[in-house]
A = this chain, B = another copy of it.
Amino acid sequence: MVLTESMREALRLAQDSVEAGGGPFGAVIVRGDEIVAGGCNQVVEARDPTAHAEVLAIRNAARKLGTHDLSGCRIYTSCEPCPMCLGAIYWARLESVTYGALRSDASEVGFDDELIYDEIQLPLEERRLKFEQEGHAEALKVLRAWRAKADRMEY
């Protein structure tokens, strides 16, 4: 099957990353027929646990387009996004996700995506990660102060 140019570019970024010693993931943001920006996994190299291919592609596209709102753009990624990247995709208001490998494929080669997918669905008190609440009343006050501002920036 012939791949779209966008998927070919996402896979090329992933392959180049492997060859450069980085994580095996690549992604591009596309608007209409144009590839706006791309990214590959840079977690170890950039010493940044959030530097996944999709997050970097989104950040690069947002910088290039000058807005946090990427409505009308699509993402092509070499692998189904992890929960962090999936969250970023929703916040960026992307229109669609085209992915190559499955999250189960990522797990097979050693990435923890499935664990995070499992954890995220559990109530806080049942997760492996410890959750505690503190300062609920004070925290609510801040949210409500924001809502009360006439000039708040909604997004």
Which residues of chain A have a CB within 8 Å of any CB of chain B? 1, 3-4, 7-8, 11, 14-15, 18, 21-24, 26, 43-44, 46-52, 55, 58-59, 62-63, 66-70, 76, 78-80, 82-102, 105-106, 108-110, 112, 115-117, 119-121, 124, 129-136, 138-140, 142-147, 149, 151-155
Contact = CB atoms under 8 A, between A and B. Distances in A.
B21 A48 contact: no
B24 A145 contact: yes
A9 to B, nearest CB: 11
Copies of this chain, count: 2
Nearest to A43: B68
A134 B44 contact: no
Contacts of A43: 68, 91, 155
Contact of A49 (B48, B92, B136): B92
A101 B136 CA distance: 5
Complex A-B, nearest 5 residue pairs according to Cβ-Cβ distance, in ascending order = A100-B139, A84-B87, A24-B146, A101-B139, A83-B87
